[in-house]
């Protein structure tokens, strides 16, 4: 091996070493994988799910209510829970409702569960101290979280990172974390357009479309087109905006009826237009085509149910 060969060898080796070093830095300081263990975050996350953890985010942003975090517990273990109580707040649970500073927290990511009352004073605090957070599992009846003195309030310095994306199982890839704290996603588009042409029986919906229902929800009506689904429940509208170029990627628009500020429905020849303005200022324009008289009457019933919930 002459000098040129040795030089080329070290040149190539340096590239691989650099790549390995970059991967190591990303895993150590930016992103890493964690597996969900146990049922405490069901139905948002299930035992065995693999999630991507953003370890860098809280170095540049504040922790927010509703975010799902991983934090150190008992030295070598970690727990995954949802942030509920923020610094300076008083949190209690009465009659199965989370109450923060006297106001009931609206949560549509938990089912109809029965849990014991909880008071922050049981942990020795009147208010949550600075840089500490109260966390709960979504499966409140089977979760070891801040209600347990062994866990207690979580210090900011013990937070490993924020859970934002579930990547396994493949069929269940989705962004997680906003649950019902955010009433809907804030999209870049000022107005989002959808067109639907076929009614779908609830039993024929894909499994991923059913994952966003709580135990107290029922499907009133569902529609589809070549790539999207619209599911009207007795509580909210769920729009699945599938990217036709990607098998698993989709945007999920979750719109509780109470988050609709104004609405209108227009019946035209062979179609119906549903116009929704959300509290955030964003708008949804949903067209239903190939609509005969019976289908229009069904949609009218759905619309009235939406407005009754809103009121």
Which residues are known to be catalytic?
40, 81
120 contacts 133 by C-beta, under 8 angstroms: no
Closest CA to 238 of 208, 215, 270: 208
**Strand-pair partners of 100:** 91, 103
To which residue do tokens 């509290």 refer?
Answer: 279
174 contacts 242 by C-beta, under 8 angstroms: no
To which residue do tokens 């589809």 refer?
Answer: 224
Say whether the peptide bond before residue 169 is cis (omega within 30 degrees of 0).
yes
- Residue 55 CA to residue 123 CA, distance in Å, equals 28
Q: 309: which 2 tokens?
A: 């919930």
- Residue 259 CA to residue 44 CA, distance in Å, equals 21
232 contacts 224 by C-beta, under 8 angstroms: no
Alpha helices of 1-83 — where are they, by DSSP H?
3-29
Closest CA to 136 of 154, 122, 124: 154
């Amino acid at each position: 091996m002459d000098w040129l060969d040795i030089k080329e060898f070290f040149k190539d080796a340096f590239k691989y070493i650099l790549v390995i070093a970059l991967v190591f830095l990303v895993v150590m300081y930016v992103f890493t994988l964690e597996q969900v263990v146990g049922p405490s975050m069901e139905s948002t996350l299930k035992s065995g799910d693999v999630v991507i953890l953003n370890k860098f985010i809280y170095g540049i942003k504040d922790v927010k209510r509703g975010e799902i975090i991983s934090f150190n517990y008992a030295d070598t273990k970690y727990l995954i829970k949802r942030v509920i109580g923020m610094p300076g707040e008083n949190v209690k649970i009465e009659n199965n409702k989370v109450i923060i500073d006297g106001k009931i927290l609206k949560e549509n990511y938990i089912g109809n569960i029965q849990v014991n009352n909880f008071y922050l004073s049981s942990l020795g605090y009147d208010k949550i101290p600075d840089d500490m957070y109260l966390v709960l599992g979504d499966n409140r009846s089977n979760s070891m979280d801040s209600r347990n003195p062994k866990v207690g309030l979580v210090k900011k310095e013990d937070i490993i990172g924020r859970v934002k994306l579930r990547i396994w199982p493949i069929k269940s890839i989705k962004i997680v974390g906003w649950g019902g704290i955010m009433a809907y996603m804030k999209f870049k588009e000022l107005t989002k357009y959808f067109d639907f042409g076929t009614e779908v029986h609830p039993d024929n919906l894909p499994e991923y479309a059913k994952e966003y229902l709580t135990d107290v929800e029922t499907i009133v009506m569902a529609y589809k087109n070549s790539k999207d689904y619209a599911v009207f429940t007795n509580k909210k509208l769920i729009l699945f905006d599938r990217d036709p170029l990607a098998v698993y990627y989709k945007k999920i628009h979750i719109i509780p009826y109470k988050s609709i500020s104004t609405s209108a429905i227009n019946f035209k020849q062979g179609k119906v237009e549903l116009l929704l303005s959300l509290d955030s200022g964003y708008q949804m324009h949903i067209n239903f085509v190939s609509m005969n008289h019976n289908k229009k009457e069904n949609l009218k019933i759905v619309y009235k149910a939406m407005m009754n919930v809103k009121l």
